[in-house]
Structure 1
Amino acid sequence: MTLIRYRNEFSQWLANTLHIEIFPREVYQFSSIPAEVIPRDVTLICVSAFLICSIAALIPAYFAARLDPVKALRFE
């Protein structure tokens, strides 16, 4: 959130320090970097990421829990 709040200052720092312009004014015609943070969207993204990661972790764990250790280690 801090980077979003100070996005224009960060862009100015990059331009002055590293000589990197994220949005060149000649191309994009911006006086500052536009951004709008909508709490509902942030919440939706966080909940979706949590659910996807949980499902991605639980499916292999479920199959590993059903596996017989003797059969799994037979050829090790």
Structure 2
Amino acid sequence: TLIRYRNEFSHWLASTLHIEIFPREVYQFSSIPAEVIPRDVAMICISAFLICSFAALIPAYFAARLDPVKALRYE
């Protein structure tokens, strides 16, 4: 929803906190451009899922190889 209200958020930052994300003098934008491409969103979601899954497999593999009695001995 931040993309939908990006211009309102930018105006709020400028008026409330005196922060301009894209100064009009520099970037010549009347509004902040944004384009959401469903294919890009899907690729980002799939990539994030695969990276997290593979990152979780490494500690799970080592935990599965441990003997529970030896692992709990030092707890």
Deviation at 1:72, TM superposition (A): 3.9
Q: How far, CA to CA, are the matches of 1:73 and 1:18 in structure 2?
A: 53
Deviation at 1:70, TM superposition (A): 4.0
Report SS of the residue matched to 1:60: helix
* Deviation readout 1:23-47 (Å, 9 max, x if unpaired): 0011111111011000010011011
Report SS of the residue matched to 1:4: coil
Deviation at 1:68, TM superposition (A): 2.1
Deviation at 1:75, TM superposition (A): 5.9
Structure 2: gaps spanning 5 or more residues? none
TM-score (norm 1): 0.87
Structure 1: gaps spanning 5 or more residues? none
Deviation at 1:71, TM superposition (A): 4.1
How many residues are paired up? 75
TM-score (norm 2): 0.88
Deviation at 1:63, TM superposition (A): 1.2
Report SS of the residue matched to 1:53: helix
- RMSD, matched Cα: 1.4
Q: How far, CA to CA, are the matches of 2:30 and 2:57 in structure 1?
A: 47
Aligned residues: percent identity? 91
Equivalences for residues 1-76 of structure 1 within 5 A: 2-72=1-71
